[in-house]
Amino acid sequence: MFLGEATKQMSLQIVINGLATGSVYALIATGFALIFNILKFSNFSHGATMTAAAFTAYFLVAAKGGGLAATLLAAALAGALIALFGEFFGFRRITLKHSSPTYFFVSSITLGTLYEGLVTIRVGSNFYNFPSFFKNPTIRISGLVISTGDAMMCIISLVALILLAYVIQKTRLGRALRAVSFDRDTAQLMGINSTRIIQLTFVISGLLAGAAGTFLGIKYTLYPTLGSLVVKGFIASVIGGLGSLVGAVIGAVLLGLIETLLLSLLGSGYSTIATFGIMLVFLLVRPQGIAGSNIQEKA
């Protein structure tokens, strides 16, 4: 088929936008999958953690003239602190008592509602814009127009994901994290302080949440229910195969690409419906996700 020069440019543009969106979803999805891995529940407070962390960074740093790096750092730290708070008050006791997942579910929804409420008290239902961090809002590379924000998002997310992979695969913390994720009690009997490892996992998840929240705030705007975009992260980690971090990243990038493509083809109204439709069909065909395996274990 013959593709005109303009069409080619268009499709490249879509791919780049899709990758940028996907990379933010990947930050959300991995932060979410880490907690799912270690405590086997869906952390519904993850979205509100993102919002609260992004707002904290907005008020403490960005609104006072801080740059992108300082804002991201502040958001990541705020996310980590909020996650630590949540781990201690929301999950510590039920973890030690080996409570059923329902309790974790209720606890995480409660925490999420609490964070969202606190943010709403501070900011009302107003929308906030991060100051434009870049001198040039767009970069031109051989005819392609890329938003500087999108480009930074891609690069920083990629760096964050590589760091995450390094920590998990190559360090003592990662080894302990994988052991505790597989079997908390046995890990404990091998001398690993499972509580400490769970705490550190929440810190990592919080760091990722803070960065993701800031990026969403830059891409769209900041508002108290921004965290509901976490659903995209959930979906991405399910498409990828729940619990698999690599799967979560693949799922997120795929979701970002599909969404951007449909957006340009169908407009904003139908694209959402079509995206979710595709996801439903996907889960019907391959419920275990991309990286999930259905190999039956020998009893």
CB of 194 to another protein, least distance (A): 7
Residues between 171 and 210 with contacts to another protein, criterion CB under 8 A? 171-173, 175-176, 178-179, 182-183, 185-194, 196, 200
CB of 19 to another protein, least distance (A): 28
Q: Which is nearer to another protein, 203 or 258 (CB)?
A: 203
Distant-in-sequence contacts of 282-289, Cβ < 8 A, 24+ apart: 282/239, 283/238, 283/239, 288/241, 289/238, 289/239, 289/240, 289/241, 289/242, 289/244, 289/247, 289/251
| Residue closer to another protein (CB basis): 132 or 171 | 171
Is 40 near another protein (CB under 8 A)? no
Question: Among residue numbers 62 through 101, which ones bind another protein (CB under 8 A)?
Answer: none
> How many chain residues interact with another protein (CB under 8 A)?
23
Window 237 to 256, contacts with another protein (CB under 8 A): none
Q: Using an 8 Å Cβ cutoff, are 225 and 275 in contact?
A: no
Select 39 or 230, whichever has its Cβ closest to another protein. 39
Identity of the residue, 192 or 212, whose beta carbon is nearer to another protein in the bound complex: 192
Piece in contact with another protein (CB under 8 A), picked from 154-162, 164-172, 222-230, 245-253: 164-172
Q: How far is the CB of 24 from another protein (least distance, A)?
A: 24
Residue type, 75: A
Nearer to another protein, 7 or 186 (CB): 186
In the region spanning residues 260 to 299, those forming contacts with another protein, defined by CB under 8 A, are 297
- Let me know if 219 is exposed, middle or buried by CB neighbors in 10 A (0-12, 13-18, 19+): middle
> The tokens of 162 are what?
């590589």
Point out which residues bind another protein (CB under 8 A).
167, 171-173, 175-176, 178-179, 182-183, 185-194, 196, 200, 297
